[in-house]
Structure 1
Amino acid sequence: MPNRLAQATSPYLLQHADNPVDWWPWEADAFAEARRRDVPVFLSVGYSACHWCHVMERESFEDDETAAYMNEHFVSVKVDREERPDVDAVYMEAVQAVTGQGGWPMSVWLTPDGEPFYFGTYFPPRARHGMASFRQVLEGVHSAWTGGRDEVAEIAGKITQELAGRKPAIADPGAPTEETQASALLRLARDVDPASGWFRGDTKFPPSMVIEFLLRHHVRAGSAEALHMAEGLCEAMARSSLYDQVGGGFHRYVLTPSTGGPLVPHFEKMLYDNALLARVYAHWWRITGSPFARRIAVETCDWMLRDLRTEQGGLASALDADSEGEEGRYYVWTPEQLREVLGDEDGAWAAGLFEVTGTFEHGTSVLQLLRDPDDAERYARVRNALLAARAQRVPPARDDKVVAAWNGLAVAALAECGALFERPDLVEAAGEVARLLAGVHLDGGRLARTSRDGAAGANAGVLEDYADVAEGLVALHAVTGDAAHVELAGTLLDAVLEHFPDGAGGFYDTADDAERLFRRPQDPTDNATPSGQFAAAGALLSYAALTGSQRHREAAEGALAPARTLAAKHARFAGWGLAVAEAHVAGPLEVAVVGESDDRRTRDLHRTALLAVSPGAVVSVGAPGDERVPLLAGRGLVGGAPAAYVCRDFACRLPVTTSAELVAELRA
């Protein structure tokens, strides 16, 4: 019989609806039930694409005996971290503070008041390698609760008090300076392995925000080292098994095998990684014209639309790592499988090109592309054939909830890639995503975090949702000239300024009217996505450049302050703050293009403006007399011809009427 999760909208929670565990969703009634029964709450947090979450479910949550023990002695609560990043954040902070590490599934035992007192992540069904079994942990927690309640209460109280009093340590007020940026570059350079191009470490996540900083710093400061590092990282990622060499798009991360050999992916594919990386590769192309960068950007966008697009025009959050009960089964190949699909000659050629030697699990191989193919036509034919053959396999499950923040990132990527690579279908797709966010997620100026099947979820948007959607809308306006996107971005940023400030120049990650947890989450450091604070800084700065709003610019500058401190200690976790700071130091440049949309001269000026590489440059295009966006106000034709105005803080140079003149102005 299904448990309470059968009524959930989250695909991750629905995966647990038939467990024998009597799961509760995160709600007040669950904690009230724990008080009534005088038992602890077992909080399990994960997400749909999490491999070890599925493993723990199969081993423990689907086991009748284990479930019966849980049901007797605990109230068990299951949370999708992607729906409730606030719940995940505050308890993950506790896990990391006590154990020194974290991850998913996250397993935390709480008092009925929500105070944590015992912590862990994945627990195996049987003790191994010094790790207690899940049943042993359950029995130990139950024993402590029934026989040592005072000690449990003391531990919970101390942990809660310590964490509730924490504030981000910001030693240097004010936005980062040129000196901050140069210092951050030196620290990042020390972390790069010059032989491989990757950052050092056995686990390699795509450092999207850091690469964006490096590209912007190269342009603004003329740093050849920054470009070299960015290109090395981009090449390493896209040639390794992190990138799906057959279907496009990036996996979540790769591991360095202890025995040597190719990097091994953690095979889930996340929307946020691919949205960020598509934009990074497009910006690399915009600076250098690299055909490789263009290919990866376009293929990543095509993958997002092919595999993640929902019927309502949004983008699903992720594809699982597993299929047919095995991680990565969908993506790996044997030499024999290549020959079966391609024939002996092309099969042998593909095996050499993609390094398929049968050294992965069960004689399979992940695919990598360490050298360029010697025959582009053959390469395309082989990839198409492999993609068609792979489509006959059982695909990984898709988590089809639409997350506002990640769709905002995708709007920016699709819009920019569509414009830069002359793919109007990508721009149209960006518009469809934006319409879904406006029509389904937005209500009374406030955002819902998620939707599914065209219906908004119950969870309130967090700071990154408002900031990333606003960022996407500003990027979409630059491409389409639709002033409504700027107006909507302003509505979202007004909500940020009203409901998220911390009173010290920064922002909390949750609104002032959000559900109260034992701590109000606030973390300015980047993780897999830009931190809410740095994302807000970027959106606020761009909006200020389009509107001339000093209020928004000052808020952006205040939100950038943590980047100064982080740059001196943990620059890899401040990439987006450093990237936004490059735009702040550069102005950012403001480009207004005035002319009729059906005039080729207007289109040429507009495209030239979009090709501008100045960090964070904003673009607005409109017909003469269109003053809905303040940057366009008062700007007219010149001698009856379309004109472009290059400005900084609304102070403009003389207008120009040709693309060549505009290029010169942008370089100046």
Structure 2
Amino acid sequence: MSNRLKDEKSPYLLQHKDNPVEWYPWCDEAFTKAKKEDKPIFLSIGYSTCHWCHVMAHESFEDAGVAELLNLGFVCIKVDREERPDIDAVYMSVCQAVTGQGGWPLTIIMTPKQKPFFAGTYFPKERYYGRPGLVDILSEVLVLWKDRREDLMKDGEEITALINNQCTLREKPLKDRLSEKEIFHKAYHIFVKQFDPVWGGFGGAPKFPSPHNLLFLMRYAQAEHEPEALRMAEITLNAMADGGIHDHIGGGFSRYSTDEQWLVPHFEKMLYDNALLLLAYTDAYQITGKEKYRDVALHTADYILRELTDWQGGFYCGQDADSEGVEGKYYVFTQDEVISVLGEDDGKEFCRQYGITKEGNFEGKSIPNRLHQEQTEDVLKGTANSNKVREEQAAAENCLDRLYQYRISRTSLHKDDKILLSWNAWTILALARAGALLREKRYLEAAKRAQEFIEERMNGKDGRLYLRFRDGEAAHQGMLEDYGVYALALLELYRADFRVEYLSNAIHRAKQMLQFFEDDQAGGYFINAADAEQLIARPKEMYDGAIPSGNSVAFMVLQRLAALTGEVSWQEAARRQMAYCVRQIQEYPAGLSFALLAMTEAVCPHRELVCAVNGEVSEEMRRQLERLPRYGIDLLVKTKENADALTECAPFTSEYPLPKEGVLYYLCEDGACQAPVRELNFI
């Protein structure tokens, strides 16, 4: 018999609808029941592609004995962290404060007033190698709830006060305040100390891609003329591209690597990782011109379009690590399997090139990889254009395609088909940039279609954004990341297509971001809106984790709007956010690499280019503009048709006359404007 999750849309909640546990979604009914029956609340937070969430579900939540204990003593609530990042942020901060670490599944036990007194992550059903068992924990809590209730209530009050203090923390007095330039250098030197010179990445295993760190290093290399920063980024990009974390057969990247070589991944694939990695490889291609980065970017974008794209235009969340209950089963091969698909000669050669051995590198089977294949500089740059190289590439692509077709017929992957606005916005941004820089119109068209989907399906009658869409329903009030990343994506679409509607919409969404999320007392931006459901705390996140934080993104949006529009109001908003970020960033700036990227827009040499065009923008002009750096220069295009609309967005452009024919380029740099010219040969 199904529980109360049966009517939800979240794939994660629906995975638990047939548990014997009497789950509730997060709702007033659950808290009312807990108060009425005088029971503590058992809160479990996870997501549908989480391996350890599956393990805990199979071990405990599908077990009749555990379910009986939970149902008798607790009111049980399930939350999809991707649908309710505000709830997840509050209780993850509790777990980190109490235990010193976090992760999913997140396990919280709290009072009916939502005040937590126990926190942890995965627990086995029974005690296992020193890790307490869930049954023991639940039994002990019930005893304490009966005999020492006051102690638990006091713990809940103290933890809640601690979290609220963290959320509302104002500026801390600092003895030695660093300047913005000093902050850049400090962050860079932290990355240098943590860098793995052999395999790339920062720190030891497990290794996460963290593409925003690489984006910062590439930008730092350009701004500070520091080739070592670019070298660190390239070593990491090359190692990830060659490793097993990269799906050489189907494209895209897994969540993280469990080892230092990027060989053995945690096999789940997430939309946001692939969008941000697409950005990193696209930027690396523009900076270095190396064809390897272009190939990886194409492979990643094609994966998103092929396997994570909804027929209506949005993008799905990701794919599971498990197939038929076995982690990684979908991705690994034996030598005999490969030979049976490709034939004796092609099969043996493929096994040699992709490290597929009799011994295997993962539980007796092999994860395809190219970590130990030597690649000369001319191959990396794509200058080894001999007939032999082209023939080998064509043969390899043919083998990869045949193995891909075999793989999808052999077993399948669960797909989380939620459409999350902020993750879609990252993907729109990445595809728009890749479409322009790689000259692949299909990517730009996919980005435009996804943006139209958001406006049509995830935009409420009140003009506010929704966080999630699934199965015909948009739900949950949009949060800081939704508005911030979407505004950034709209600015990237404008840069790729020059439609003023994108710029105007970006300004509109940024105004909503200020209205609903800015903390006008302590600075920065809250995760949830001022009129959202009130939790035990109103979280405000700064550090960039797997995804850049909403505050880092807000900084980038405001800085770009300040430069593009020339409006004092945006300049002031950008300065406020920079002041907030500078306060937060002093001690460990490497943890805020996307905020650092935004800061470079403000403090490094910066240019604005206005292109006044008589008639339509030619393809030749588009190609020239696409070659401009993505950082350090902002671009506006004025035509007779868009002049009025552009003036609404950037009033200063009203003073720029249209030429009688052709194009006039107006370049300003750090507050000084040059005379207009006819040729774009000065950048």
TM range (shorter): over 0.9
* TM-aligned CA deviation for residue 649 of structure 1: 6.9
1:427 matched to 2:444? The reply is yes
Whether the aligned pair in 1 keeps the contact of 2:207 and 2:262 (CA below 8 Å) is: no
Number of the residue aligned with 2:538: 520
8 Å CA contact 1:216–1:614 kept in 2: the answer is no
Which residue pairs with 1:319 in the alignment?
Answer: 319
Q: Distance in 1 between matches of 2:639 and 2:447?
A: 22
Deviation readout 1:436-482 (Å, 9 max, x if unpaired): 1111212223211111134211x111111100000000100111111
Q: Does 1:223 align with 2:226?
A: yes
Does structure 1 residue 138 correspond to structure 2 residue 159? no
Please report how far the alpha carbon of residue 361 of structure 1 lies from its aligned counterpart in structure 2 after TM superposition: 4.0
CA distance in structure 1 between the partners assigned to 2:602 and 2:594 by the alignment: 12
**Relative to structure 1, is the Cα distance of residues 539 and 12 closer, same or farther in structure 2, using a 3 angstrom cutoff?**
same
1:231-250 matches, within 5 Å, as 231-250=234-253
* Greater Cα offset, 216-225 or 13-22: 216-225
Residue 199 of structure 1 corresponds to which residue in structure 2? Answer: 202
Following superposition, the deviation at residue 263 of structure 1 comes to 2.9
**How does the TM-score come out when normalised to structure 1?**
0.94
Question: Does the 8 Å contact 1:268/1:319 carry over to 2?
Answer: yes
The verdict on how the C-alpha distance between 1:26 and 1:242 changes in structure 2, with shifts beyond 3 A counting, is same
Give the Cα–Cα distance (whole angstroms) in 2 for the partners of residues 487 and 172 of structure 1: 39
| Per-residue Cα deviation, 1:52-80 (whole angstroms, up to 9, x for no partner) | 00111111111112112111110000000
Distance 1:176 1:461, change over 3 A: farther
Counterpart of 1:82 in structure 2 is 82
Match of 2:497 among 480, 488, 492: 480
Match of 1:456 among 460, 474, 478: 474
What CA distance in whole angstroms lies between the structure 2 residues aligned with 1:254 and 1:33?
43
For residue 433 of structure 2, the aligned residue among 403, 416, 436 is: 416
**1:342 aligned to 2:358?**
no
Share of identical aligned residues, percent?
Answer: 37
- Structure 2 SS opposite 1:572: helix
- Cα distance, 1:356–1:623 mapped onto 2, change above 3 Å: same
Note closer, same or farther for the CA distance 1:485–1:614 as it changes in structure 2 (3 Å cut): closer
> Do residues 590 (structure 1) and 608 (structure 2) align?
yes
Q: Deviations over 1:363-415 (max 9, x none)?
A: 21112112349622222122111111112122211111111111111111111
Query: Which one is further off, 287-296 or 165-174?
Result: 165-174
Q: Which moved more, 1:102-111 or 1:209-218?
A: 209-218
Unaligned runs of 5+ in 2: 380-388
Q: Mind listing any 5+ residue stretches in structure 1 that lack a counterpart?
A: none
Aligned to 2:386: none
1:252 matches 2:255: yes
How big is the shift at 1:342? 1.0
Q: Is the contact between residue 186 and residue 589 of structure 2 (CA under 8 Å) also seen in structure 1?
A: no
Aligned to 1:470: 487
Q: Is the 8 A contact 1:478 1:621 kept in 2?
A: no
Residue 492 in structure 1 maps to residue 478 in structure 2: no
Question: What one-letter code is carried by the residue in structure 1 that aligns with 2:493?
Answer: L
Aligned residue number for residue 51 of structure 1: 51
Letter of the structure 2 residue corresponding to residue 380 of structure 1: E
Counterpart Cα distance in 2 of 1:49 and 1:617:
39
Question: 1:117/1:336 Cα in 2 relative to 1: closer, same or farther (>3 Å)?
Answer: same
Q: Is the 2:523–2:580 Cα contact (8 Å) retained in structure 1?
A: no
Give the corresponding residue for 2:189: 186
1:164 CA displacement:
1.1
Which of the numbers 631, 640, 653 marks the counterpart of 1:615?
A: 631
Is the CA contact 2:466–2:474 (under 8 Å) kept in the aligned structure 1? yes
C-alpha contact 2:279 2:430 (8 A) present in aligned 1:
yes
Within 1, Cα distance between the matches of 2:444 and 2:42?
45
- Alignment partners' CA distance in 1, 2:407 and 2:667: 49
Contact 2:355 2:370 (C-alpha < 8 Å) held by counterparts:
yes
How far the C-alpha of 1:238 sits from its partner, in A, is 1.2
Matched, 1:550 2:568: yes
Match of 1:159 in 2: 159
Q: CA deviation at 1:136?
A: 1.0
Q: CA deviation at 1:567?
A: 4.9
Q: How many residues align?
A: 656
| Bigger shift: residues 317-326 or 75-84 | 317-326
Q: Structure 1 residues 597, 123: closer, same or farther in 2, change over 3 A?
A: farther
Contact 1:586–1:615 (CA<8 Å) still a contact in 2?
no
1:170, distance to aligned residue in structure 2 (A): 4.6
* Compared CA separation, residues 93 and 498, structure 1 to 2 (3 A): same
Q: CA deviation at 1:657?
A: 2.5
After alignment, is 190-199 or 51-60 more displaced? 190-199
* CA distance 1:201–1:572, shift in 2 (3 Å): farther
Higher relative contact order (CA 8 A, sep 6+): 1
- In 1, Cα distance between the equivalents of 2:631 and 2:568? 20
1:460-510 alpha-carbon deviations (Å, 9 max, x no partner): 111111000000001001111111111111111111111111123311111
SS of the residue 1:621 aligns to = strand
More off after superposition, 307-316 vs 367-376 = 367-376
**Aligned with 2:303: secondary structure?**
helix
